[in-house]
Structures are given as structure tokens and as C-alpha cells.
Amino acid sequence: MKRILLLGATGSIGLQTIDVIEQHPDLFELVGVVAGNKVQQLNEIIEKHPSIQVVGIGNEQFKDQIHHKKVYSGNHAMVDCIENCDYDLLVNAVVGFRGLKPTLVSLKKGKDVALANKESLVAGGMLVRQTLKETNTKLYPIDSEHSAIFQCLQGNDISQVKRLIITASGGSFRDKTREELKEVTVEQTLKHPNWSMGKRITVDSATMVNKGFEVIEAHFLFGLDYDQIDTVLHQESIVHSMVEYIDHAIMAQMGSADMRLPIQYAIQYPDRLSLKEEHPFDATKTINLHFKEMDFERYPMLRLAYEVGRKEGNLGAVFNGADEQAVELFLEEKISFLQIEESIEKAIQQAQYIEYPSYQQLEESDLWAREFVKSLWD
Ligand code: MG
């Protein structure tokens, strides 16, 4: 029985993780859950899973409303739960920079992590890589593109990989020109054509910041140079990503847009588990698949991500912090869609570069980027 501690339990990935756990009660046991502020949903999960030892809630004021005897609250709740829970695998499905610390703490404790929190690698990739090496622990990707790559790598030697090809749907505005982007609203941005996801990642898909993050994530997960990581536009999101080998054989992983597959592959690797899906991909019934060269002029954030990734240091933390803040301002309708990009570009230009940042310095870089973006639009 694998004991799972789940961070971000009431988010989109968190709830689907619980679904996978509930479908396989003979394999998994939920032993800890942490959420930000959705008390009612958290209490429902606690009621259904008597195996839960510890509960965390980010928002202090809800602590007394949680129906459990062991509750941690506040900014430190995730780390408190990690330190006070007997678990085998951490599922980190938190959104944002705040997910980095729990990843590091769990790895240092010798516990593997199934990772949906891409910021752990975007902001703290160098620290995570070093910690993995020191502790002999493992990261299992939950992000659909990285899960696809991970699946395509099975049985092959990474040294025989020519390149990774990450597919990108193009987001909500893939048919719009940059000129047309000046006018787009929050409501339009939140309508993703293929995937139903949280708000931030939906905005990040439209700006292509998300794909940029995924390039950096792939670099750290698979240890390949940026020259070996490509992106391609693929509007149907059926091919979740590909691996090209040195003999030009290309392996692709295909399927419908159901995140439970990457989740269950990550938490029960290398085994595959049955999955009840209403509309599995069927090649005989599906529309044509299209692939188009990535357009870096149309999506400048992706080009910037390659630059940031190559320079390493604290720039990933700045990139992410600026984006988190800018997306928040955009969702509050305080800045326009294109001002998200402008915020990030300026933050990267103005940031003080630190080549080998400590965790503390990453935290400072993150905070600096947020304050910088806020001050831009005050
Ligand atoms: Mg993804």
C-alpha cells in the first residue's frame, strides 16, 4: 500500500489525484492533505478518508473549521505536514513558487515526489537537481507533456535521444494576431480550447509562459540541453509530446486530455493502471492531427524562457514571480493581457543576477519580482 501525502488537494490536479486513489483502494492510501482555503471541500475529503493523519490549511483563519485532530495552518502548513506525516510519496499539486520548499523538504527527507508544481523546477531547478543527487530520491512528472516524454523514454537510453518535442495547443488566442491581443478580456482568456484547468495556468497557456516553463521543466527533469528541447504547435492536444532518437525514430504518446493518466502513471510508475474514461482517443474517429512550426515572434515569452533557462541562476525565480504577480493583476483587470508580457520582460531586464542562488535568495528574487511588477502599474 502506497501512502500518499497530497499538497493542493482541492485544486484541479489534487481532486483528480484523489479520484485515482479512490479508484484503487488496494494500492493507495491518502494519509495527508493540504489546501489553501477551501474548507468545505477539505472536510469532505477528510470524512471520506479516515486514513488521513495530518491536514494543512494555508489560510490561518479557517483552522478551527477543519474536522480533524491534527491540523497545521499558515504558510508553514505544507512543511509541517511533510515533517509530521508517515508517507511514501508526496504529490505536489500546489500552484506557484510556494511549491518549491515542500519539494525540497520532502526530497531531503528521502521521500520521492510526484510533481505537478512546475515552479519547483522553473524557479528552483538547480537546487532540486542538487538535492536529488544528494539524497538519491526521484521526481515523477505529472505535467502531461513531461509524462508523455517520460513514457516515450521507457526502455531507451537517454544518451540516444536526439531531441524532445513538446507540443503546445497555442492556448485561448492561437488564432489571434498580436494586434488583436491588445483588446482581449479576462473572460476570453479563461476559455481554453482543449483543457479545463486552474485560472493561472489557463492565462499562462494563452501567453505561452506555460510552455516556456515546460521547456525549463523538461531540461531539469530529463537532463538535456536546451538545444535538444523543441516545441511545436499542435492544436488538437492529442499528441501530448514526443521524443526523437538519434536514428530519427519518433515516439509519441497520444490520448485524450485526461490528467488522471499522467497522475496515475506518476504515482504508480512503472505500472500502468486501468482508467475508466468515457471518451478515450480513437484514431479511427478522430479528426486530422496538425503540427505547425512554433512562432517565436507571436509568442515572445517562449523565446524569453529559453534565454532565462540557459542563463540559470535566479532568473527562473524572477520570471515566475513576475508572471504570478502580473497574472494576478490581469485577473483583477488592473492590467491588459499584453502587459503581462511587458511586466515579465522588464522584470528580467532589471533583476540583479545571482549565479548560484540559495533558497533564501530565490525567495528574495521571487518577492523582488512581485514588488517590481506591482510598482510598474501603480
Ligand atoms: Mg502541461
CA of 214 to the centre of ligand 1 (A): 7
Task: Give 231 Cα–ligand 1 centroid separation in angstroms.
Answer: 12
Q: Which position has the grid cell 497522475?
A: 263
Residue 172, classified by CB atoms within 10 Å of its CB into exposed (0-12), middle (13-18) or buried (19+), is: buried
Give the Å distance between the CA of 45 and the centre of ligand 1.
26
Residues forming a β-bridge with 39: none
Distance 266 CA to ligand 1 centre (A): 14
Task: Note the maximum CA span of the chain.
Answer: 60
Cell numbers at 64, concatenated: 478551527
What pLDDT sits at residue 286?
67
**pLDDT, tens only, 103-142:** 999 999 999 999 999 999 999 999 999 999 999 999 999 9
User: Can you give the pLDDT at residue 179?
Assistant: 95
Cell of 83: 515533517
The count of other CB atoms within 10 Å of the CB of residue 47 is 11
Residue with cell 508526496: 90
Ligand 1 centroid – CA 59 distance (Å): 27
Encode 288-321: b = buried (16+ Cβ within 10 Å), e = exposed. Answer: eeeeeebeeebbbbbebbbebbeebbbbbbbbbb
User: Quick one: pLDDT at residue 295?
Assistant: 95
Domains 2-137 and 313-378 fall in the same CATH topology: no
Domain range 313-378, CATH class: mainly alpha
pLDDT of residue 192: 78
Whole-number Å distance, alpha carbon 145 to ligand 1 midpoint, is 5
Is the domain covering 2-137 a CATH 3.40.50.720 domain? yes
- Treating both helix axes as pointing N-terminal to C-terminal, what angle do 209-222 and 119-135 enclose, rounded to 10 degrees? 10
CA pair distance 318, 223, nearest whole angstrom? 22
Residues contacting 215, CB < 8 A, separation 6+: 166, 226, 229, 231, 302, 305, 306, 309
Whole-number Å distance, alpha carbon 143 to ligand 1 midpoint, is 5
DSSP-derived letter for residue 118 is T
For the question of whether the overall pTM of this predicted structure is more than 0.85, the answer is yes
Residue 55, C-alpha cell as written in the block: 491536514
Letter for the amino acid at 283?
A
Distance of CA 317 to the CA centre of its chain: 14
Determine the pLDDT at residue 250: 98
pLDDT tens sequence across 291-311: 999 999 999 999 999 999 999
**Rounded distance from Cα 374 to ligand 1 centre (Å):** 27
Taking the CB of residue 196, how many other CB atoms lie within 10 A of it? 9
Cα distances from 291 to residues 232, 237, 256, 257, 335, in angstroms, run 7, 10, 17, 17, 33
Task: Output the pLDDT for position 180.
Answer: 96
- Rounded to the nearest whole angstrom, what is the distance from the C-alpha of residue 212 to the centroid of ligand 1? 10
229 grid coordinates = 528541447
Question: 323: part of which helix (H) or strand (E)?
Answer: helix 315-331
The Å distance, Cα 217 to ligand 1 centre, comes to 10
Q: How far is the CA of 65 from the centre of ligand 1 (A)?
A: 34
pLDDT (tens place) for every residue of the chain, 378 residues total: 999 999 999 999 999 999 999 999 999 999 999 999 999 999 999 999 999 999 999 999 999 999 999 999 999 999 999 999 999 999 999 999 999 999 999 999 999 999 999 999 999 999 999 999 999 999 999 999 999 999 999 999 999 999 999 999 998 899 999 999 999 999 999 987 777 778 999 999 999 999 999 999 999 999 999 999 999 999 999 999 999 999 999 999 999 989 999 999 999 999 999 999 888 999 888 678 999 999 999 999 999 999 999 999 999 999 999 999 999 999 999 999 999 999 999 999 999 999 999 999 999 999 999 999 999 999
Name the residue ranges covered by the structural domains of the chain: 2-137, 144-257+284-310, 313-378
Mean pLDDT of the chain: 96
* pLDDT recorded at residue 198: 82
